[in-house]
Copies of this chain bind each other. A is one copy, B any other.
Amino acid sequence: MNEQRVRRDPEGTRRRILEAATQQFTQFGLAGARVDAIANAAGTNERMLYYYFTSKEGLYVAVLESMYAQFGEREARLDLSGLDPTDAIRKLAQSIWAYFWDNPQWLSLINNENLHKGRYLERSSGLRATISPVVDLLRVTLERGVAAGQFRAGIDPLDFYVTLVGLGYYVVSNRFTLDAFLGRNYAQPQQQASISALHADMLLAYLHEGALASSDQPRNIELDRA
C-alpha cells in the first residue's frame, strides 16, 4: 500500500494479498469479505489472487494457517524454565491473554472457523503440531508445582489449558456484546486488568486448593504487551 511498488515482485504481491485478506476476513468473515476489496487493498487485481491462492476459500485457508503460525511462534518463544511454578502459571496466562488483547482479529477468525464447524481447518496439515508445545510446557509446569507442594495433583493439562485460554478469550471476543448488555467495557485497561487479576487468582486458587503447602496471596497482574 504505502510501500514502494515494484513491477515484478512475486513475493511482495503474495504477501500483500495475504495481509489484505487477513484484514478483510477478520473484519467481515469468510462470506462477508469481498474478493475485489482484497485485491484492491493489496494494490493488485483480482486475477493475481486466483493466481496465488486458487480461490477465495484457498486464500481463507492460507490466512488461517498464517495466523496460527504466528500464534504458535509467539507461544514457542515463551520461557518459563527459571520461574517458580506459581509465577510460571501467571506468566503463561498473562502472555496468552495479552496476545488476545493485542490481536482480537485472530479471535474473529477462529470464531468464524467455528461457525463453519472447523471445515476449513481440516484442509490444513500440521496445525496440531504448532499448538501442542504449549500444552507440554503447561504439563511440565503443573508437575513442577505438584512436586513443590504448591499445586494439587491429578489435573488434566489439556482441560486446564483450555480453561486458562477460555478465560481470556471470552472477554476479548465478546467485548462488544458484554458492553451492550452489561454496560461494562472490557476494552478499558482498568477493567481488563481487574478481570485478568480475578482470572489469575481463580486459576491459582484452584491449583493451590488441597495442595500440601498453603498458597500465596493473590496479586494484581499487569498485562505486558509484546
Contact = CB atoms under 8 A, between A and B. Distances in A.
A54 to B, nearest CB: 14
Given A162-B171, A167-B163, A224-B98, A219 B197 contact: yes
B202 A163 contact: yes
7 contacts: A27-B115, A135-B182, A156-B194, A162-B186, A167-B167, A167-B170, A202-B202
Interface residues of A, number: 87
A114 B114 contact: no
A114 B173 contact: yes
Closest 10 CB pairs of A and B: A166-B170, A118-B176, A31-B32, A98-B223, A202-B206, A31-B31, A205-B206, A111-B111, A205-B209, A205-B205
B121 A115 contact: no
A167 to B, nearest CB: 6
Interface string A164-186: 01110111011111111111101
A193 B223 contact: yes
A90 B90 CA distance: 26
Interface string A39-67: 00000000000000000000000000000
A155 B201 CA distance: 12
Given A28-B31, A195-B159, A114 B218 contact: no
A166 B171 contact: yes
